[in-house]
A and B are shown apart, each in its own frame.
Chain A
């Protein structure tokens, strides 16, 4: 069925993390494989210019001067996320994100929000599997103040019981809203946990109510001192700023902070994790449609196959004609809906093929149809050199479209720096794409999908009315 379910896949997965893995808890393991910056310098005369610097305390700074933007985007990336939580601490990274809006020793809790409000700006934050990011969009005249307040809350956050208790209650209401009271989200969170097992990506950023309730002020203080520090942070600024003046301000505000902070222990890659071999079957209070899901883990961003996989993702997930859907739904009519979703995280990706059918087929039959379609795709009669070139052009066009949006550019820089170790990857798709041939796209498919086992999940409604079953039996007869 229907985008109802399949469309939610990325949503739930993107909001989810694990069990054993590296623990955020309180014993951090320093990492030595963080972003390495090149010392080269190329001045720019007329294009947006990227200024990059690593302060002596280890904090990364990227400033993209773009005079054409009306707003300045500021993103402060802390390289700690849900995947770094320990088994008894689910939801802590997200809870702490809330605490960061609680004011500091010298600034009341409303000040940061009020600054943005009065200027017509925007401020928010999000916690994902791999990072926690604080986002600001504001008119240039107020930008200096944003930096002051960000630097202030990196060192002087006011952590107290009253605020912690209040945010716990708020976070638990958010958790109930997102995880408990929506059947589709419930089943996808269950699927995520069942599929990923003890991988750190197995749980939602919302975490568990009991863990959130248990969170203490002492934990928060240690978490803050360990991870919310220059060595674990990347400040990204994009917009109509005087680059050198802003850099000087950043040095003044952040450069004087002590060199401390640790990277959480590295999360193991998705590729190579031991996944369940049997079909995971889950039931929920869903409309009368059953969905067979086949998922394949992918390598980390920046791997040798990175660009070939990006092209595959465009062809099978970003095109108007999706060969997977065409074969399964339109040509063979073996599903009422089919989709493929490509998800990327810092420690690997996942491609998800989902096919929905009315509830009359056997589970094994549904998976057989899925397998047949993937087999057909694996013969690559559908993939011409021209299609590969078109996919490359589509990816370049998307990169160009970011040019209109300071915040998107900041996200791309922050992601490239943290996930791939080089923010220039946010701007350099051309060389990588040019080098990919049709043969490499095919080899990437074979390596990660064609020759891989795949993870199988079957989603069912709890109740199917009899008339729906009857319709399901008649349906294939009348649609031949």
Chain B
């Protein structure tokens, strides 16, 4: 043992003052106006600043559907001469506009020294009226081609079948799997929608990075036009309930030409945050399907090499989702793996988890929280998710503590009820015809 060429280098890449491990906290500063909240996550490790402007108009609202809210938000960045995006490039800034389920968001990331100019760009963007209609046509075409491509993918077909079984036509949880509609292209309507979104009460200005509270306050002033007094109708998301109870009666088979695997999913509706059993669900799902040595991974991968993956999807959040225990295997092994999948679920439901599994799951969930605290932007985004989900600050982290407070008996009582096979339907994506030779 020994060494050669020992070297210690100071990295002078940034004027870095290194704080002791991660003391980043989100602070809520005084409101710039009655309709606006101002957040800051201060972090001086690098001379960078991120800004998130978040507005409570999500693409799942009927208002957004009726007024083209989703496209109105995204098209702002696309003026006919591409000047706004060119200015972002000149500032070497990252600038995105996204229309999520529950909010419309602008995200900006730039060097601190460029922040004043970048904020001028943001203001100009939010006041811009020179929308490029051609871009809307391109998006319409793009979305339809994506959708067509998805019709050849087993995972897409499985997810679409689950959503169609569980939710009524028009439910946003189902709509994303349907053929995309034509986007609104009337500029006057788009402008009206955008101007409405920008003025919505309940909007958030969030800064993260190399800023002091005083700087954040100053920069937030005048960034947005005054908030409107009232909210338009149809802005709240009103999700209808599941159209049917899940269950074996709804087992579904979808065929796709050319496959040399079958794709299986045991599916039912998930829980959501407000459900009193949510903390128990966190633990149960983790033990059954949430890690590399979960029950499913052991039974379907490690013990027989039946598959590459066996996991859950659609665990839900503020709303329910199609919850699936899914896997895949070679065609000739389909019956074997389906039986193992059913049996794993049956044993799980009947016997529950052990105390060692409960402890390990809680330990994992507690430790994994560090992954959402690496950058100031992560902390800011997590808080915005909480706000849009109607949760108190820290509520997402607190779910783990609530789960930790549950006894083994409480968790297993939940498992017996929720994971009863009678609640799950089986969705199979199978080859239409025998797969080509040699595959």
Chain A residues with CB under 8 Å of chain B are 1-4, 37-56, 64, 66-71, 110, 113-114, 117-122, 137, 139, 165-174, 176-177, 180-184, 209, 240, 243, 251-252, 255-256, 285-289, 319-321, 326, 329-330, 336-337, 386-387, 390-391, 393-394, 396-397, 399-401, 403-406, 424, 427-428, 430
Contacts and interface: CB of A to CB of B under 8 A. Distances in A.
Contacts of A56: 1-4
Interface stretch (B181-189, B231-239, B253-261, B412-420): B253-261
B372 to A, nearest CB: 10
A67 B18 contact: yes
A336 B89 contact: no
Contact of A39 (B6, B17, B305, B370): B6
B363 to A, nearest CB: 5
A403 B146 contact: no
B307 A170 contact: yes
B291 interface: yes
Contact of B7 (A53, A114, A171, A396): A53
A405 B308 CA distance: 29
A68 B19 contact: yes
B374 A404 contact: yes
A166 B307 CA distance: 10
Interchain residue pairs A-B with the least CB separation, the first 9: A120-B367, A169-B305, A44-B10, A255-B1, A404-B375, A120-B368, A320-B85, A393-B92, A394-B92
A51 B5 CA distance: 10
Given A121-B367, A139-B367, A50 B149 contact: no
B145 A117 contact: no
A137 B368 CA distance: 10
**Chain B contact residues: helix, strand, loop or mixed:** mixed
Given A172-B330, A174-B308, 18 more contacts: A1-B142, A42-B8, A42-B10, A48-B18, A50-B8, A54-B3, A113-B293, A118-B360, A119-B363, A120-B368, A176-B439, A182-B153, A209-B439, A251-B3, A285-B258, A397-B48, A404-B377, A427-B13
Interface of B: 1-14, 16-22, 45-48, 77, 82, 85-86, 88-92, 95, 109-111, 114, 134, 138, 141-142, 145-146, 148-149, 152-154, 257-261, 291-293, 301-302, 304-309, 328-330, 360, 363-371, 373-377, 439
A324 B86 CA distance: 14
Contact of A51 (B7, B88, B257, B291): B7
Contact of A319 (B1, B77, B89, B302): B89
A168 B330 CA distance: 13
B199 to A, nearest CB: 26
B292 A404 contact: no
A386 B378 CA distance: 32
A173 B308 contact: yes
Given A54-B3, A251-B3, A403 B16 contact: yes
A189 to B, nearest CB: 13
A53 B95 CA distance: 40
Contact of B328 (A1, A173, A320): A173
A184 B149 contact: yes
Given A173-B328, A397-B111, A321 B305 contact: no
A405 B372 CA distance: 11
Contacts of A50: 7-9, 11
Contacts of B47: 400
Contacts of B291: 113, 117
A285 B152 contact: yes
Contacts of A209: 439
B111 A393 contact: yes
Contact of A49 (B11, B148, B292): B11
Nearest to B91: A390
A397 B92 contact: yes
Contact of A173 (B46, B92, B109, B261): B261
A41 B436 CA distance: 61
Interface centre among B1, B304, B368 (most CB of A within 10 A): B1
**Chain A contact residues: helix, strand, loop or mixed:** mixed
Nearest to B16: A47
Contacts of A285: 152, 257-258
Contacts of B376: 404
A211 to B, nearest CB: 13
Contacts of B11: 44, 47-50, 64, 427
Given A117-B292, A180-B260, A49 B364 contact: no
Nearest to B90: A390
A70 B261 contact: no
A67 B377 CA distance: 19
A139 B370 contact: yes
A320 B86 contact: yes
Contacts of A54: 3-5
A181 B154 contact: yes
B149 A330 contact: no
B3 A321 contact: no
A401 B2 contact: no
A180 B435 CA distance: 10
Contact of A403 (B7, B14, B22): B14
A38 B374 contact: no
Nearest to B154: A181
Contact of B10 (A47, A166, A167, A390): A47
Nearest to B294: A117
A256 B3 CA distance: 11
Contacts of B141: 2, 336
Contacts of B363: 118-120
B12 A41 contact: no
A397 B108 CA distance: 13
Nearest to B77: A320
A185 to B, nearest CB: 10
A175 B299 CA distance: 20
Given A47-B16, A118-B363, A120-B368, A404 B46 contact: yes
Contact of B2 (A55, A68, A71, A319): A55
A68 B292 contact: no
A68 B45 contact: yes
Nearest to B47: A400
Contacts of A428: 13
Given A54-B4, A397-B111, A321 B46 contact: no
A119 B1 contact: no
A400 B46 contact: yes
Given A49-B11, A110-B293, A321 B375 contact: no
Contacts of B365: 120
A52 B16 contact: no
Contacts of A4: 145-146, 149
Contact of A165 (B4, B305, B366, B369): B305
A433 to B, nearest CB: 12
A173 B301 CA distance: 10
A367 B369 CA distance: 51
A38 B7 contact: yes
B145 A287 contact: yes
Interface centre among A39, A52, A170, A326 (most CB of B within 10 A): A170
B148 A287 contact: yes
A120 B19 CA distance: 24
A378 B47 CA distance: 35
Given A55-B2, A390-B92, A405-B374, A424 B330 contact: no
B260 A71 contact: no
B135 to A, nearest CB: 8
Contacts of B2: 55-56, 251, 255
A5 to B, nearest CB: 9
9 contacts: A1-B142, A2-B145, A53-B3, A113-B293, A117-B292, A117-B293, A166-B302, A181-B260, A287-B148
A285 B2 CA distance: 58
A120 B302 CA distance: 21
Nearest to A243: B8
Contacts of A168: 305
Contacts of A45: 10
B33 to A, nearest CB: 30
A405 B6 contact: no
B80 to A, nearest CB: 9
